[in-house]
Amino acid sequence: MSTDILKLAAFSDGDQGGNPAGVWIGEALPDEATMQRIAAEVGFSETAFAAPLDDGWRVRYFSPLAEVPFCGHATIALGAALAARNGDGVFKLQLNQAHITVEGHAQGQRVSAALQSPPTHSQLADEALVDEALALFGYRRDELDLRIPPARINGGAGHLVLALNSREALRAMRYDQAAGHALMVRENWATILLVFAESEQSFHTRNPFAFGGVYEDPATGAATAALAGYLRDIGWPHGGVIDILQGEDMGSPSRLRAEITDQPGASIRVSGMARYL
């Protein structure tokens, strides 16, 4: 059984930033306990495990603490690794709960990759839950941007989105990780997505990932897909594409692009660059 782990930073901003992910590729997936152990040893927010299946790949994702149903940045890293191994192309992926694709294209020392997310859906969050989440971060109601109401959003994994009305509030994000872990596990949220809309198509985001034992992710493709689907649901004037800048407040600038069709619930295309670590 292969034990070599490829390490890539997905959604990098040129030669810097991005979110590190592990990629394991072998002839058959290890057992669940082994994958969990490897992910904990790698220590990145996620490691993707892939093995051939029919005309595609069976893929599972593990954080240091738990399996997650879908991880965008690890999928981008996997797409880069598969392109390096098999040549540029589009690769079919079977996840635990969905079938998706990822494509990879080598560009010198960097690789561009794009995933098609699972279907998206959303629902407004109840007021008591919003108050609990605000209290976790020490935010006030008047710091919310209610053009993007607090909601449960999903593009392959669950998230809570809280839109803030100032860049300063986003920059000031702090929370207790143990309390955040308890809330995210209870509500089955992979992350809480904090977002500031700089314009109708440009956003700054931060993603506490206490669910997986990580204080904050510098780039989160699954949450970006979920946000894009939610913006479509609420009729936001996205113009078919949004750009996300994430990770800048933690010194790891990352760039993500989401392309949005008009079809409600349809897959979101999330793309970016990847670099080897």
**pTM, two decimal places:** 0.93
Query: pLDDT confidence of 4, banded at 50, 70, 90?
Result: confident
Among 84-88, 93-97, 202-206, where is mean pLDDT lowest? 84-88
Reported as a single tens digit per residue, the pLDDT across 9-25 is: 999 998 899 999 999 99
How far is Cα 245 from Cα 46, in angstroms, rounded to an integer? 20
Average pLDDT over residues 91-113: 91
**What percent of the chain has pLDDT above 70?**
99
* Domain range list for the chain: 6-116, 121-272
Reported as a single tens digit per residue, the pLDDT across 28-67 is: 999 999 999 999 999 999 999 999 999 999 999 999 999 9
Mean pLDDT value across the chain:
96
Please report the pLDDT score of residue 3 as a whole number.
Answer: 59
121-272 domain in CATH 3.10.310.10? yes
Reported as a single tens digit per residue, the pLDDT across 228-277 is: 999 999 999 999 999 999 999 999 999 999 999 999 999 999 999 999 98
Name the one residue in this structure whose structure tokens are 């314009």: 199
**Burial group, residue 40, by CB count within 10 angstroms (0-12, 13-18, 19+):** middle
For 216, phi and psi rounded to 5 degrees? -155, 140
Distances (CA, A) of 155 to 23, 164, 237: 21, 21, 19
**Model confidence at 2: pLDDT above 90:** no
Average pLDDT over residues 139-155: 98
How far is Cα 106 from Cα 86, in angstroms, rounded to an integer? 11
Q: Are 121 and 94 in contact (CB under 8 A)?
A: no
Distances (CA, A) of 137 to 45, 77, 182, 224: 21, 30, 14, 21
172 half-sphere exposure, CB direction, 13 A CA radius: 12
How far is Cα 212 from Cα 45, in angstroms, rounded to an integer? 7
CATH-assigned architecture of domain 6-116: Roll (3.10)
What is the amino acid identity at position 272?
G
Query: pLDDT confidence of 1, banded at 50, 70, 90?
Result: very low
How far is Cα 127 from Cα 144, in angstroms, rounded to an integer? 13
How far is Cα 153 from Cα 125, in angstroms, rounded to an integer? 9
Q: Are 275 and 15 in contact (CB under 8 A)?
A: yes
Distances (CA, A) of 255 to 54, 56, 134, 242: 33, 27, 26, 11
How far is Cα 265 from Cα 121, in angstroms, rounded to an integer? 6
How far is Cα 114 from Cα 273, in angstroms, rounded to an integer? 9
